[in-house]
Amino acid sequence: MQIRRQSFFTSPDFWISGWEDVNEYLDGIRTGTVWEIGRSQGGHPIRAVAFGQHEPVERRTTYSSALASGHPEDFYDPAQRTMPVLLVIGAVHAAEIEGTVACLNLAHILEHGTDLRGRTHAELHGLARQVRLVMVPLPQPDGRIRAPVRNLIGGSEDDLYYYGQGVLADGSILRWPACKRLQPVPVDAMQFVGGYYNDAGVNIQHDDFLAPQVAPETRALLDLVRAETPDCFLTFHSCGSGPFLIAPENHLSSRCQFHQVQIGALIAARHRRDGLRPGGGMRVEPRGGFYLHTALHFTSGALPLLFELPHGLASKPFSFEEILDAGLDVLEEVLRYGVCCRYAPR
């Protein structure tokens, strides 16, 4: 790995994103519950933190069978719970660490009343107390350790792809979307394997979800949604544009698509009000792609949301402060939607 810019490896104190720093922070949590949900391909612990009481759901059938019967309540009956459940997954691609930062700042708000900058967020705090909130700040430890950048602010697309997708044997940077033509990437044939992948070269966003064995990171997340049966889950990614929700997805039910569009519009409006320059724009996903979060949806029935936070590249500048504000805005709007209507995806 080359150090393409020294500033990529430094960050303010409120920007906790490194492997050791994240685990040290989780070790210090007192009002939440922290536990290991699995181990990565490289043997590193994957940890979750939860705030709010776990209310198990009694199921009589699978999600698929419940839908076919016309009785989704046989799989999940919201009347069995006193509050909705939101699962937040940060840094699916481990060089895209902005979501990790947002998760830990929300944890700090719930633990101490302020984010890691010392700022209060009364409404966000109040909303988060009305749900069971489960977060997995670093679901892909192998790539996080391999590509330990703390930010890409002021960088170029080449920087983004170098630390994310890696470098091929001929010295050329593997870029998006060409990186998706290789699954898994040939680890032994690459000069540098970026943070996109686990130690076996698997991009868990596009795992072989119906294979007899999936990547251990994928298995840990599938088992988590099966155990938690969340009403909604949010997976964080990062990109070179402004922040946006990828929605709607045409292989999901019209009910799910409706909620995705509603939430995406609310977040974009919030970001505009706060001067945070939304980008990307909502669009129907036309290729019928089946991603990690759709596999999680068909396992649990939960409403899937995929949000892209900005890296703050030179072509689309965002500061550390603005990126964190964008992430906390996303969390507040998603929580508000759940408190007001319980997501109702099923």
Confidence of residue 80 (pLDDT cuts 50, 70, 90): confident
Cα 151 to Cα 16, 29, 178, distances in angstroms: 10, 24, 23
Confidence of residue 322 (pLDDT cuts 50, 70, 90): very high
Chain segment 88-143, per-residue pLDDT in tens: 999 999 999 999 999 999 999 999 999 999 999 999 999 999 999 999 999 999 99
Chain segment 38-52, per-residue pLDDT in tens: 999 999 999 999 999
Write down the domain spans for the chain: 6-341
Q: What is the pLDDT of residue 281?
A: 64
Place of tokens 């699978």: 62
Residues 6+ apart with CB under 8 A from 90: 97, 99, 100, 101, 102, 103, 135, 136, 137, 138, 139, 236
Chain segment 16-27, per-residue pLDDT in tens: 999 999 999 999
Chain segment 180-189, per-residue pLDDT in tens: 898 999 999 9
14/36 Cα distance (integer angstroms): 24
pLDDT surpasses 70 at 282:
no
Q: What is the pLDDT of residue 240?
A: 94
Per-chain mean pLDDT for the chain: 94
263/268 Cα distance (integer angstroms): 9
Say what percent of the chain tops pLDDT 70.
97
Q: Contact at 8 Å (CB) between 159 and 4?
A: yes
pLDDT surpasses 80 at 311:
yes
Chain segment 324-339, per-residue pLDDT in tens: 999 999 999 999 999 9
pLDDT surpasses 80 at 75:
yes
pLDDT surpasses 90 at 219:
yes
pTM here?
0.96
Q: What is the pLDDT of residue 343?
A: 82
Confidence of residue 283 (pLDDT cuts 50, 70, 90): low
Confidence of residue 2 (pLDDT cuts 50, 70, 90): confident
Quickly count: other Cβ atoms within 10 Å of residue 274's Cβ: 13
Tell me which of 3.40.50.300, 3.40.140.10, 3.40.630.10, 3.60.21.10 is the CATH number of domain 6-341. Answer: 3.40.630.10
Under DSSP, is residue 317 helix (H, G, I), strand (E, B) or coil?
coil
